[in-house]
Amino acid sequence: MTEAGSSAQPRAALPIEQLRAQFPALSQQINGQPLIYLDNAATVQKPRCVLDAVLRCYTESCANVHRGAHTLAERASEGYERARGAVQRLLHAASAQEIVFTSGCTAAINLVANGWGNRHVGSGDEILVTGLEHHSNLLPWQELCRRRGATLRSVPLDPQGQLDLQSYERLLGPRTRLVAVAHVSNALGTLNPIAELARRAHAAGALILVDGAQAVARCPVNVAELGSDFYTFSAHKLYAPFGLGVLHARAELLSDMEPLVTGGGMVELVEAERASYTAPPGRFEAGTPNLSAALGLERAILWLQALGLERVQAHEQDLLGYAREQLAALPGVRLLGGGPALGVVSLMVGSVHAHDVSTVLDRSGIAVRAGHHCAQPVMRHFGVPATVRASFAVYNTRAEIDALARGLERVREIFGG
Ligand code: PMP
Tell me the pLDDT tens digit for each residue of 62-120. 999 988 789 999 999 999 999 999 999 999 999 999 999 999 999 999 999 999 999 99
Q: Is 137 in the pocket of ligand 1 (CB under 6 A)?
A: yes
Q: Does residue 105 line the site of ligand 1, with CB under 6 A?
A: yes
pLDDT of residue 4: 41
What spacing in Å lies between the alpha carbon of 417 and ligand 1's midpoint? 33
Tally Cβ neighbours within 10 Å of residue 143: 15
40 lines ligand 1 (CB under 6 A): no
In sequence order, which residues have a C-beta less than 8 Å from that of residue 76 and are 6 or more positions away? Answer: 61, 62, 63, 64, 65, 291
Q: What are 30-59's pLDDT values in tens digits?
A: 999 999 999 999 999 999 999 999 999 999
User: What distance lies between CA 352 and its chain's CA centroid?
Assistant: 29
Looking at ligand 1, which residue's alpha carbon is closest to its atom 5?
186
CA distance 289 to 103: 9
Residue 68: predicted pLDDT: 79
d(CA 146, CA 288): 32
Q: Is the CB of 317 under 6 A from ligand 1?
A: no
Give, for 395, the enclosing helix (H) or strand (E). none
pLDDT confidence of residue 12: 57
When pLDDT is averaged across residues 241-246 and rounded to a whole number, the result is: 98
Q: Which helix (H) or strand (E) holds 91?
A: helix 71-91
Q: What is the pLDDT of residue 2?
A: 34
pLDDT mean over 169-192? 98
- Atom 6 of ligand 1: nearest residue by CA position: 213
Taking CA atoms only, the protein residue closest to ligand 1 atom 12 is 105
- Cα separation, 233 vs 106, in Å, equals 8
Centre of ligand 1 to C-alpha 1, Å, is 37
pLDDT for res 3:
37
Q: Which of 101, 133, 136, 389 for mutating ligand 1's site (highest number of atoms within 8 Å of CB)?
A: 136
Model confidence over 255-278: pLDDT tens digits? 999 999 999 999 999 999 999 999
pLDDT score recorded for residue 221: 98
Angle (CA) 242-290-283 rounded to 5° is 120
Q: Is 312 in the pocket of ligand 1 (CB under 6 A)?
A: no
Global pTM reads 0.96
Q: Which pLDDT tens digit goes with each residue over 389-416? A: 999 999 999 999 999 999 999 999 999 8
**Which numbered atom of ligand 1 lies nearest the CA of 106?**
16
Query: One of 49, 105, 145, 374 is an active-site residue; which one?
Result: 374
**What pLDDT band is residue 13 in, cutting at 50, 70 and 90?**
confident
Say if ligand 1 is within 6 A of residue 187 CB.
no
Best CA proximity match to 256, nearest among 116, 111, 93, 102: 116
Which letter does DSSP use for residue 336 in this model? E
CA dist., res. 69 & res. 288, Å (int): 16
Which of ligand 1's atoms lies nearest the C-alpha of 103? 16
39 lines ligand 1 (CB under 6 A): no
Q: 111, 130, 181, 214: which to mutate for ligand 1, most atoms within 8 A of CB? A: 214
Ligand 1 centroid from CA 378, angstroms: 15
Each residue's pLDDT tens digit, 339-355: 999 999 999 999 999 99
Domains in the chain: ranges and CATH: 2-46+308-415 (3.90.1150.10), 51-305 (3.40.640.10)
Do 47 and 307 form a contact (C-beta atoms < 8 A)? no
Say how many Å lie between the CA of residue 283 and the centre of ligand 1. Answer: 24
Q: Is the CB of 209 under 6 A from ligand 1?
A: no
**Contact (CB, 8 A) for 171 and 153:** yes
pLDDT band at 130 (very low <50, low <70, confident <90, very high): very high
Number of H helices and number of E strands within the chain? Answer: 15, 17
For all residues of the chain together, what is the average pLDDT? Answer: 95
The pLDDT of residue 297 is above 90: yes
How far is ligand 1, taken at its centre, from the CA of residue 39, in Å?
13
The atom number, within ligand 1, closest to the CA of 237 reads: 15
Share of the chain above pLDDT 70, in %: 97
Ligand 1 pocket: which of 234, 244, 389, 392 to mutate (most atoms <8 Å of CB)? 234
Answer yes or no: 145 catalytic.
no
Confidence grade of residue 319 (pLDDT, cut at 50, 70, 90): very high
User: Residue 184's beta-bridge partner residues?
Assistant: 191
Measure 370 CA to ligand 1 centroid, in angstroms.
Answer: 16
pLDDT value at position 67? Answer: 81
Distance 103 CA to ligand 1 centre (A): 12
Radius of gyration, alpha carbons of the chain: 22
Q: Is the peptide bond between 280 and the residue preceding it cis, with omega within 30 degrees of 0?
A: no
| Ligand 1 centroid from CA 252, angstroms | 26
pLDDT over threshold 60, residue 380: yes
The pLDDT value given to residue 416? 82
